[in-house]
Structure 1
Amino acid sequence: MCLTSPLTPAFSYPSAPVPESAERVAPHLPFYIARKGPMTLYLLGTLHVGNASDYPRPERFRPAIRAALKASPALAFELSPDDLILSQDDVQRYGMCAYPCLRRLAPAALWRRLAQRLRDHPAEFAEIKKARPWLAAMLLDTLTALAAGLQTEYGTEAQLENIYTAGRILGLETVDEQILAFARLTSAEQLEMLRQSLMQTPERSAADIRELHLLWRAGDADALAMWQTRTTEKLAHARRIAEAVDEKTLFQRNRRFAARLLLMAEPEAPLFAAIGALHLGGSRGVLALLRQHGFDIQPG
């Protein structure tokens, strides 16, 4: 499953209704404080989909997170809001064909599996037919998130942007850097992404997303990294190729995020960074990389 990018899908859906029983207490979420001498980084693991109960009003986030936002003169996302808007043109340019090309790019057996999966979603199938395999995988994962009861409009970044008033909002990578991490995958790697998205029944895939959502709400970055590892091992069609996909779309970007955070960190000027939750934990995650550079990291 590819849940490591906030790139907006090429098609949209109606909003999910807000449940009457929505919780009134903000969930914990993976939130950490990294300190090195006079430098402080606040790190929040985000989820690019969610539901209304993840951000109960009026507070939306628990007090420690709100206090860190207020204290930070800069907020860093994977992509800045302006770049995220502009990214749609590049998603179309790098991820879509002018004609239904996916049938030509995918093996016949994989194409038949895709057609069977989307038999009840003709509009989405018509759009995915024109997608290259990497984007088709992302679009399928969006459908899975919807089936799990989650919506892109409740992604963490949008909720943070709605309440952040302390200063500037920055990006940790450019549009080209993020999109090309996927668009430059080899044909075999892109097809591995698509196979993973189709490996399980829709019900089993939705159950995996719900498990991820619960782990994110609980707030343990290492547990989320373990979920990612287990999921890759379970869904991998070709282990070596699957590991190459994770290296290029997850671990290389982790190193980029950590390097950019080190460049942005300033003495006596805390930086709040909101990064996809699957990028934070584990031995190759952003938290581990910052520890290697001498940061002391504690749960927030």
Structure 2
Amino acid sequence: MKPMFLSAMASGEGSPESMKSGKTVSYELELMNNAKKQKKPISGLETMEFQMGLFDSIPYDVQAQMLVESIKVGSSGGDDLEEMTKIYKSQDIEAMQSMMSSDTEGIGRYEELLLTKRNENWIPKMKTQMKDKAVFFAVGAGHLGGKKGVIQLLEKEGYTLTPIK
């Protein structure tokens, strides 16, 4: 198992216990289940193989260091997740972006790799899919805010986006 996945589990973000307790909300899973119930087509902007390969771009010693930090932080990682969930629910996308960018010791230093480049790659794919029909896109909240976030990139292309409340 890759250190990045162990790190997520150590911080409580992906552990079965946190999912059962309801502390971690998987919006992705909820959206997928709703789409399946409605027999809506589901596709991705990237393959799982591509996403897994992203973590291979982060040196294992750095991933291991992040894992050690996640274990040291222990329960405070849950506090960070709670804060991020609170910010997400309040739809303060810029605060979410700021919180993620400020993590210069951890995953934040890979923002260009994990967020920016992917956002830029998604826009042409989104435009193609939206050309002929209405499409619902679900992306991680970290991809939305900032000058190179999906929202501003789509607005730059002439699209109008309205948040759903």
TM over 0.5: yes
Indicate the residue corresponding to 2:161 in structure 1.
297
1:271 aligns to what?
135
In structure 1, the residue corresponding to 2:161 is in which secondary structure?
Answer: strand
3-state SS of paired residue (1:274): coil
The yes-or-no answer on 1:163 pairing with 2:28 is no
SS at match of 2:137: strand
- Partner residue in 1 for 2:80: 208
Q: CA 1:259–1:189 in structure 2 vs 1: closer, same or farther (change >3 Å)?
A: farther
Partner amino acid for 1:206? G
Shift of 1:211: 0.6
1:178 Cα deviation from its structure 2 partner: 0.7
In the alignment, what sits opposite 1:285? 149
Distance across 2 between alignment mates of 1:187 and 1:158: 28
Task: Flag the 1:184–1:155 CA change in 2: closer, same or farther, 3 A.
Answer: same
The aligned counterpart of 2:94 is 222
Percent same amino acid at aligned positions?
25
Q: Where do 1:21-32 residues align within 5 Å?
A: none
Using structure 2 for the length normalisation, give the TM-score: 0.79
Q: Distance in 1 between matches of 2:121 and 2:69?
A: 25
RMSD: 2.7
Q: Is the 8 A contact 2:28 2:138 kept in 1?
A: yes
* Alpha-carbon distance, 1:142 to partner: 3.3
Give 5+ residue unaligned stretches, structure 2: none
Question: Secondary structure at 1:260's aligned position in 2?
Answer: helix
Change (3 A) 1:191 1:180: same
Structure 2 Cα separation of the partners of residues 143 and 270 of structure 1: 32
User: Is residue 253 from structure 1 mapped to residue 125 from structure 2 by the alignment?
Assistant: no
Partner of 1:184: 57
C-alpha separation in 1, matches of 2:12 and 2:4: 13
What is the 5 A alignment of 1:138-177?
138-142=8-12, 146=18, 150-151=23-24, 154-164=25-35, 165=38, 167-177=40-50
CA contact (8 A) 2:11 2:78 kept: no
- Shift, 1:139, TM fit: 2.1
Give the Å deviation of 1:135.
2.4
TM-score (norm: length of structure 1): 0.47
Greater CA radius of gyration, 1 or 2? 1
Distance 1:169 1:242 in 2: 29
Name the count of aligned residue pairs. Answer: 159
Higher helix share: 2
Structure 1 residue 192 displacement after superposition: 4.6
Mark the CA change 1:192 to 1:169 in structure 2 (over 3 Å): closer, same or farther.
same
Note the alpha carbon deviations across 1:230-266, whole angstroms, 9 max, x for none. 3x04xx16xxx952x2222222222233232122122
- Partners of 1:242 and 1:224 lie apart in 2 by 12
Query: Structure 1 residue 195: deviation in Å?
Result: 4.6
CA distance in 1, matches of 2:113, 2:157: 22
Specify the code of the residue in structure 2 equivalent to 1:256.
Answer: N
Question: Hey, what's the Cα distance between the residues in 2 that align with 1:270 and 1:210?
Answer: 33
Aligned partners of 1:189 and 1:242 also within 8 Å: no
Deviations 1:6-51 (A, max 9, x none): xxxxxxxxxxxxxxxxxxxxxxxxxxxxxxxxxxxxxxxxxxxxxx
> Quick one: which amino acid aligns to residue 27 of structure 2?
T
